[in-house]
Amino acid sequence: MNNIIPPKLKSGDTIRIIAPSNSGKILTAQQKKIAEKRFKDIDISITYGGSTFENFAFDSASIKSKIKDLHQAFKDEKVRGIIAVRGGYNANELLDYIDWNIIKNNPKIFCGFSDITVLHNAIFAMTGLVTYHSPNFSNFGQSYNFDYTFEYFTKSLMAESPYVISPSNEWNDDKWWENQNDIKLMHNEGYILLNPCQERNYAGKILGGNISSFALLQGTQYFPDLNNSILLIEDDELVDIQIFNRYLDSILQQKNSDKIHAIIIGRFQRGSGVSVEDFREIIRSKEKLKNIPVVFGVDVGHTTPQSTIPIGGVLNVRIMKDKVGLEVIEH
């Protein structure tokens, strides 16, 4: 199956906000206003799916409503991009109801993270469409420390050229949605190589995202082929080091896991209690990972800021004597 790169966003385009996971009802009027203005400033219009703010059960719209919104967003010729309003817990309930031909025949930008990982990887496995592990729409409602996030969002979705993912200067892990003024920035130490490997380039298609969501696809037709891949993994404060270790082992037991070229790990939330040394010990215990780079501390996932990374796109991990370089070369 050939990869499908969707057309880039441009000035004057419209994007559709949908809720394939949990409902957008938690957004405050202020957060919604800030998010909408960010897109207005780059001349992108916002429309909403009919069930984006619906709460049928379990903090979510009904399966029927969510499928309707997803299909309509892909079929609507006026819509050039689709962004999940937030993550949550139940995107995988949609998989058996999706008409994959609608997505394949109407390729367009699809964005989100966390539970949306399920859809990113299933879409790529079933159609070959490259999607984007990016902030959810709700994240665009953050007032401060968003410049890095917005820069990489536009680099990935509005430009054609390859781009280097450099570490942010500072990061935070505060509940900004509860208090926009209570943000404590911390110095970013940059990328950390967790295991020794040869100094060279390691390139491959990017798969994964939120590790606990990615693991839900194992054993199904929606799990993507790990051959020639770069595995992206991150998670939130609910995943401690033992849970992470279990998930990682389950992925490494999948077909073609020995064909993974590199692993990049997003910064975990402080509440997880996971340290760099914890990660290093686990990675060095895996026989399959002894000769490939495993890089920790990438700005992706549940801390702020976030880069945007194409699932199904191509990433080059460059290992040099005293430096790690990450470059998205196909997106």
Beta strand 192-193 with 294-298 is: antiparallel
DSSP label of 238 = T
Which residue out of 21, 114, 156, 168 is catalytically annotated?
A: 114
35 is written with which tokens?
A: 């998010």
* 302 is annotated as an active-site residue: yes
* 166 is annotated as an active-site residue: no
* 199 is annotated as an active-site residue: no
Which residue out of 229, 234, 307, 331 is catalytically annotated?
A: 234
Which residue out of 120, 261, 302, 331 is catalytically annotated?
A: 302
Taking a C-beta distance cutoff of 8 angstroms, is the pair 16, 76 a contact?
yes
Beta strand 131-133 with 163-164 is: unpaired
Helix (H) / strand (E) element for 147: namely helix 147-158
Distance between CA atoms of 20 and 91, rounded to whole angstroms?
A: 6
Catalytic positions, written as ranges: 114, 234, 302
